[in-house]
Amino acid sequence: MLMEKRFKGCLFGLAIGDALGAPVEFLSWPQIKKKYGDSGIKDFDSWGGFAAGTYTDDTQMSLATAAGCIDAWIRGREKGIWHPPSVVYAKYLEWLKTQSDPKQTRGPGHTCLSALRSGKMGSVEEPINNSKGCGGVMRTAPAGLAFPPGQAFEQGVAFAAITHGHPSGYLPAGVLAEITSHVECVVLMSRVEE
Protein backbone atom coordinates (compact mmCIF):
# COMPACT_ATOMS: atom_id res chain seq x y z
CA MET A 1 0.00 0.00 0.00
CA LEU A 2 2.78 2.38 0.94
CA MET A 3 4.55 1.45 -2.27
CA GLU A 4 1.42 2.19 -4.29
CA LYS A 5 1.12 5.61 -2.63
CA ARG A 6 4.72 6.38 -3.43
CA PHE A 7 4.26 5.43 -7.05
CA LYS A 8 1.13 7.54 -7.37
CA GLY A 9 2.75 10.45 -5.54
CA CYS A 10 5.70 10.43 -7.91
CA LEU A 11 3.63 10.17 -11.09
CA PHE A 12 0.96 12.68 -10.04
CA GLY A 13 3.62 15.10 -8.83
CA LEU A 14 5.44 14.76 -12.11
CA ALA A 15 2.30 15.37 -14.19
CA ILE A 16 1.12 18.29 -12.07
CA GLY A 17 4.50 20.01 -12.08
CA ASP A 18 4.79 19.46 -15.81
CA ALA A 19 1.33 20.94 -16.47
CA LEU A 20 2.05 23.87 -14.17
CA GLY A 21 5.31 24.72 -15.89
CA ALA A 22 4.18 24.09 -19.45
CA PRO A 23 2.97 27.67 -20.16
CA VAL A 24 6.35 29.12 -19.18
CA GLU A 25 8.66 26.42 -20.49
CA PHE A 26 9.99 28.52 -23.34
CA LEU A 27 9.78 31.96 -21.68
CA SER A 28 12.60 33.93 -20.09
CA TRP A 29 12.28 35.03 -16.45
CA PRO A 30 11.51 38.66 -17.45
CA GLN A 31 8.79 37.37 -19.78
CA ILE A 32 7.34 35.18 -17.02
CA LYS A 33 7.31 38.09 -14.55
CA LYS A 34 5.62 40.31 -17.08
CA LYS A 35 2.87 37.77 -17.69
CA TYR A 36 2.37 36.25 -14.22
CA GLY A 37 3.86 38.75 -11.77
CA ASP A 38 6.93 38.71 -9.52
CA SER A 39 6.13 35.28 -8.05
CA GLY A 40 5.93 33.68 -11.46
CA ILE A 41 3.28 31.19 -12.47
CA LYS A 42 1.30 29.82 -9.51
CA ASP A 43 -1.66 28.10 -11.11
CA PHE A 44 -2.49 26.13 -14.23
CA ASP A 45 -2.86 28.13 -17.41
CA SER A 46 -3.59 27.26 -21.01
CA TRP A 47 -0.65 26.80 -23.36
CA GLY A 48 -0.16 25.99 -27.04
CA GLY A 49 -3.90 25.76 -27.63
CA PHE A 50 -4.39 23.26 -24.81
CA ALA A 51 -6.60 23.74 -21.75
CA ALA A 52 -5.10 24.76 -18.43
CA GLY A 53 -3.71 21.74 -16.63
CA THR A 54 -2.73 19.81 -19.76
CA TYR A 55 0.54 17.98 -19.30
CA THR A 56 3.27 17.83 -21.97
CA ASP A 57 5.43 15.30 -23.75
CA ASP A 58 7.51 15.01 -20.56
CA THR A 59 4.67 13.25 -18.77
CA GLN A 60 3.66 11.27 -21.84
CA MET A 61 7.16 9.83 -22.12
CA SER A 62 7.43 9.28 -18.36
CA LEU A 63 4.26 7.22 -18.53
CA ALA A 64 5.82 5.27 -21.40
CA THR A 65 8.85 4.64 -19.20
CA ALA A 66 6.60 3.47 -16.35
CA ALA A 67 4.63 1.16 -18.65
CA GLY A 68 7.86 -0.21 -20.07
CA CYS A 69 9.22 -0.96 -16.60
CA ILE A 70 6.07 -2.87 -15.69
CA ASP A 71 6.20 -4.88 -18.91
CA ALA A 72 9.90 -5.54 -18.37
CA TRP A 73 9.22 -7.09 -14.97
CA ILE A 74 6.35 -9.19 -16.36
CA ARG A 75 8.47 -10.35 -19.28
CA GLY A 76 11.28 -11.21 -16.92
CA ARG A 77 9.03 -13.22 -14.63
CA GLU A 78 7.03 -15.01 -17.29
CA LYS A 79 9.60 -15.55 -20.01
CA GLY A 80 12.88 -15.21 -18.18
CA ILE A 81 14.02 -12.47 -20.56
CA TRP A 82 15.51 -9.52 -18.75
CA HIS A 83 16.39 -6.42 -20.73
CA PRO A 84 14.29 -3.45 -19.55
CA PRO A 85 15.69 -0.90 -22.06
CA SER A 86 14.36 -2.95 -25.00
CA VAL A 87 10.87 -3.00 -23.51
CA VAL A 88 10.98 0.71 -22.70
CA TYR A 89 12.18 1.38 -26.25
CA ALA A 90 9.08 -0.41 -27.57
CA LYS A 91 6.92 1.88 -25.43
CA TYR A 92 8.71 4.95 -26.76
CA LEU A 93 7.97 3.73 -30.29
CA GLU A 94 4.29 3.44 -29.35
CA TRP A 95 4.45 7.00 -28.06
CA LEU A 96 6.07 8.09 -31.34
CA LYS A 97 3.04 6.78 -33.24
CA THR A 98 0.75 9.04 -31.16
CA GLN A 99 2.69 12.10 -32.29
CA SER A 100 0.79 12.30 -35.58
CA ASP A 101 -2.32 13.20 -33.55
CA PRO A 102 -2.42 16.98 -32.94
CA LYS A 103 -4.13 16.41 -29.58
CA GLN A 104 -1.17 14.32 -28.47
CA THR A 105 1.55 16.54 -29.92
CA ARG A 106 2.56 18.48 -26.84
CA GLY A 107 5.96 19.94 -27.52
CA PRO A 108 7.92 16.76 -28.28
CA GLY A 109 11.68 17.19 -28.40
CA HIS A 110 13.34 17.06 -31.79
CA THR A 111 16.03 14.69 -30.52
CA CYS A 112 13.50 12.19 -29.19
CA LEU A 113 11.54 12.25 -32.43
CA SER A 114 14.52 11.93 -34.76
CA ALA A 115 16.21 9.23 -32.67
CA LEU A 116 13.05 7.13 -32.48
CA ARG A 117 12.32 7.63 -36.18
CA SER A 118 15.80 6.39 -37.07
CA GLY A 119 14.73 2.80 -36.45
CA LYS A 120 17.75 2.23 -34.23
CA MET A 121 17.80 1.93 -30.47
CA GLY A 122 20.57 3.98 -28.92
CA SER A 123 22.69 2.73 -26.03
CA VAL A 124 25.72 3.85 -24.05
CA GLU A 125 27.87 1.40 -26.02
CA GLU A 126 26.42 2.55 -29.34
CA PRO A 127 25.38 6.21 -29.01
CA ILE A 128 22.58 7.18 -31.37
CA ASN A 129 23.73 10.81 -31.60
CA ASN A 130 25.67 13.40 -29.62
CA SER A 131 22.71 15.00 -27.89
CA LYS A 132 22.93 16.30 -24.33
CA GLY A 133 19.40 17.72 -24.25
CA CYS A 134 16.96 17.23 -21.38
CA GLY A 135 14.74 14.71 -23.22
CA GLY A 136 16.42 11.80 -21.46
CA VAL A 137 16.24 12.98 -17.88
CA MET A 138 12.71 14.37 -18.18
CA ARG A 139 11.22 10.90 -18.60
CA THR A 140 13.21 8.67 -16.25
CA ALA A 141 11.80 9.24 -12.77
CA PRO A 142 9.70 6.04 -13.03
CA ALA A 143 12.93 4.03 -13.30
CA GLY A 144 13.51 5.02 -9.68
CA LEU A 145 10.16 3.50 -8.76
CA ALA A 146 10.66 0.27 -10.65
CA PHE A 147 14.25 -0.45 -9.63
CA PRO A 148 15.91 -0.36 -6.22
CA PRO A 149 18.87 1.81 -5.25
CA GLY A 150 21.92 0.43 -6.96
CA GLN A 151 19.98 -0.66 -10.06
CA ALA A 152 18.02 2.51 -10.79
CA PHE A 153 21.06 4.44 -12.00
CA GLU A 154 22.03 1.88 -14.62
CA GLN A 155 18.47 1.52 -15.92
CA GLY A 156 17.86 5.28 -15.99
CA VAL A 157 21.03 5.76 -18.01
CA ALA A 158 20.04 3.03 -20.44
CA PHE A 159 16.54 4.47 -20.93
CA ALA A 160 17.89 7.94 -21.72
CA ALA A 161 20.63 6.61 -23.99
CA ILE A 162 17.91 5.19 -26.26
CA THR A 163 17.59 8.72 -27.69
CA HIS A 164 20.41 10.79 -26.17
CA GLY A 165 23.97 9.71 -26.93
CA HIS A 166 26.10 12.26 -25.05
CA PRO A 167 27.02 11.43 -21.42
CA SER A 168 25.49 14.77 -20.38
CA GLY A 169 22.26 13.53 -21.96
CA TYR A 170 22.05 10.16 -20.21
CA LEU A 171 24.00 10.44 -16.93
CA PRO A 172 21.53 12.95 -15.36
CA ALA A 173 18.76 10.44 -16.10
CA GLY A 174 20.64 7.84 -14.09
CA VAL A 175 21.07 10.28 -11.23
CA LEU A 176 17.36 11.22 -11.24
CA ALA A 177 16.34 7.56 -11.23
CA GLU A 178 18.75 6.76 -8.41
CA ILE A 179 17.62 9.73 -6.30
CA THR A 180 13.97 8.81 -6.88
CA SER A 181 14.67 5.26 -5.75
CA HIS A 182 16.00 6.62 -2.46
CA VAL A 183 13.32 9.17 -1.71
CA GLU A 184 10.89 8.52 1.10
CA CYS A 185 7.56 9.98 0.01
CA VAL A 186 5.69 9.29 3.26
CA VAL A 187 5.65 12.90 4.42
CA LEU A 188 4.68 14.18 1.01
CA MET A 189 1.84 11.70 0.65
CA SER A 190 0.42 12.51 4.09
CA ARG A 191 0.17 16.12 2.92
CA VAL A 192 -1.57 15.12 -0.29
CA GLU A 193 -4.19 13.21 1.70
CA GLU A 194 -5.07 16.18 3.93
Chain positions contacting Mg ion, by CB under 5 A: 56-58, 107
**Least distance between Mg ion and beta carbon 34 (Å):** 22
Looking at the Cβ atoms of 76 and 107, the one nearer to Mg ion is 107
CB of 42 to Mg ion, least distance (A): 20
Q: Are 104 and 98 in contact (CB under 8 A)?
A: yes
Task: Name which of 110 and 182 has its Cβ closer to Mg ion.
Answer: 110
Give the nearest distance from C-beta 110 to Mg ion in angstroms: 11
- What is the C-alpha to C-alpha distance for residues 187 and 185, in angstroms, rounded to an integer? 6
Q: At its nearest, how many Å lie between Mg ion and the CB of residue 93?
A: 18
Find out whether 87 and 72 touch, Cβ atoms under 8 Å: yes
Look at the chain and count its residues: 194
Write out the H or E segment, with its range, that includes residue 167: helix 167-182
Residue ranges of alpha helices (H) inside 22-166 are 29-36, 57-79, 84-98, 110-117, 141-146, 152-161
Shortest Å distance, C-beta 189 to Mg ion: 26
Which lies closer to Mg ion via its Cβ, residue 108 or residue 181?
108
Please, which residue, 18 or 178, has the CB nearer to Mg ion?
18
Indicate the burial class of 126 (C-beta count within 10 angstroms; 0-12, 13-18, 19 or more): exposed
